[in-house]
């Protein structure tokens, strides 16, 4: 089984395909790269992915492309920084990589973001391919061309928009994920249902058991549906100019702040799940929606196996961390809230009253 999503942009960015498949890993990716002209391939991955799939990569790519260099990075958000980017630059230079080289980022969201950032800045931009191996990366991070690294004070604050040439999502990669990481990816899919498609939200509610059991048909549908929603939004607002793309930030403003406060000990998807609960409660407190919205969001997040809160959540610290969010504008911050499931709204809130409001909703 497989499905194809094509992103088409009205401006200068090149169109590209997202292949979602359950084939034997990397077959179509190998065929795709064989059809492309390049001087060399450079694979950026992490220690865990390389241990699982390194032999497959070697057998498929090194036979077809002797000029295939491999950069294996440590695993974890804490390595998503400019120091690691320099390590990638050093390898590219040592391999004499030029503007005809192609970088392949194979891993979760951290690898995709950092490989894409390196590709967008090396020689002012070279091509790259996304090979997401986690559910979160397949439905979100690999789609749309956002690349970046973290700063100690803020997540993804240093970055670029640089669209990939191809995205290869194979749901068989999900079978090797630890349960916690697998479930964290569901937060992004819940997010799509909450902001865009109530039918998708209902589907998750009705197929929870299939999701927990990694049912191939269910996961293929979820990855495809999520990819189509993300692609549709990105095509309308590639660089977050009109505000359409900002809707994807539902749960992320508070989620990113929570990640920073916990030193990234909590996974991105787990933080986003808590962030969605906070945002939906805030929506009700501001009379934007009925009480069933925060109830359904919280029930969904917890029911799928994600935490609904974490010990030691301090409103003062959360309020301060949020002010560094990229969606801040002077004394205001743009929050993505809900009028109902499937109907989001961008709400401008004065940062000076954010702390008071968060205290009232008892996050």
CB 202 within 8 A of CB 208: no
CA angle 237, 224, 204 (to 5 degrees): 105
β-sheet bridge partners, residue 346 = 336
d(CA 137, CA 209): 22
Distances (CA, A) of 278 to 111, 161, 227, 302: 28, 28, 25, 13
Catalytic residue list: 124, 146, 188, 230, 240, 245, 249, 252, 256, 268
SS3 102: strand
- Tell me, letter by letter, the H, E, C secondary structure of 212-277: HCCCHHHHHHHHHHHHHHHHHHHHHCCCCCCCCHHHHHCCHHHHHHHHHHCCCCCCHHHHHHHHHH
How many CA atoms within 13 Å lie on the side-chain side of 120? 19
Residue 91 and residue 42: Cα distance in Å, rounded? 9
Report the C-alpha gap between 44 and 117 in whole angstroms.
12
Cα diameter, the chain = 62
Nearest by Cα to 164 from 130, 124, 113: 130
Neighbouring-strand partners of residue 132: 107
Q: How many CB atoms sit inside 10 A of residue 170's CB?
A: 23
**42: which strand partners?**
69, 103
């Amino acid at each position: 089984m497989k499905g194809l999503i094509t992103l088409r942009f009205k401006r200068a960015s090149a169109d590209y395909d997202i292949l979602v498949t359950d084939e034997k890993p990397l077959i179509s990716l190998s065929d795709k790269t064989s059809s492309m002209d390049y001087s060399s391939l450079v694979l950026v991955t992490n220690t865990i992915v390389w241990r699982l799939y390194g032999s497959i990569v070697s057998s498929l790519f090194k036979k077809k492309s002797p000029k295939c260099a491999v950069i294996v990075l440590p695993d974890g958000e804490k390595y998503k920084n400019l120091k690691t980017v320099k390590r990638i630059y050093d390898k590219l230079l040592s391999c004499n990589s030029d503007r005809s080289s192609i970088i392949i980022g194979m891993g979760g969201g951290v690898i995709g973001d950092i490989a894409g950032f390196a590709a967008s800045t090396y020689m002012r931009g070279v091509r790259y391919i996304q090979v997401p191996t986690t559910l979160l990366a397949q439905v979100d991070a690999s789609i749309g061309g956002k690349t970046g690294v973290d700063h100690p004070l803020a997540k993804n604050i240093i970055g670029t928009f640089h669209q990939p040439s191809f995205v290869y999502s194979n749901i068989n990669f999900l079978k090797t994920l630890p349960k916690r990481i697998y479930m964290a990816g569901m937060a992004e899919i819940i997010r799509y249902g909450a902001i865009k498609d109530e039918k998708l939200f209902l589907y998750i509610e009705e197929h929870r058991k299939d999701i927990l059991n990694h049912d191939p048909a269910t996961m293929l549908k979820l990855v495809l549906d999520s990819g189509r929603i993300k692609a549709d939004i990105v095509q309308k607002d590639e660089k977050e100019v009109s505000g359409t793309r900002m809707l994807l930030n539902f749960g992320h403003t508070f989620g990113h702040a929570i990640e920073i406060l916990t030193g990234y000990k909590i996974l991105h998807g787990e933080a986003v799940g808590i962030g969605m609960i906070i945002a939906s409660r805030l929506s009700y407190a501001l009379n934007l929606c009925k009480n069933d919205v925060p109830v359904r969001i919280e029930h969904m997040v917890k029911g799928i196996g994600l935490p609904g809160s974490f010990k030691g959540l301090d409103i003062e610290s959360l309020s301060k961390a949020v002010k560094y969010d990229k969606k801040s504008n002077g004394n205001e911050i743009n929050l993505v809230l809900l009028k109902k499931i499937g109907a989001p709204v961008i709400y401008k809130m004065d940062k000076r009253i954010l702390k008071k409001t968060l205290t009232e909703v008892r996050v």
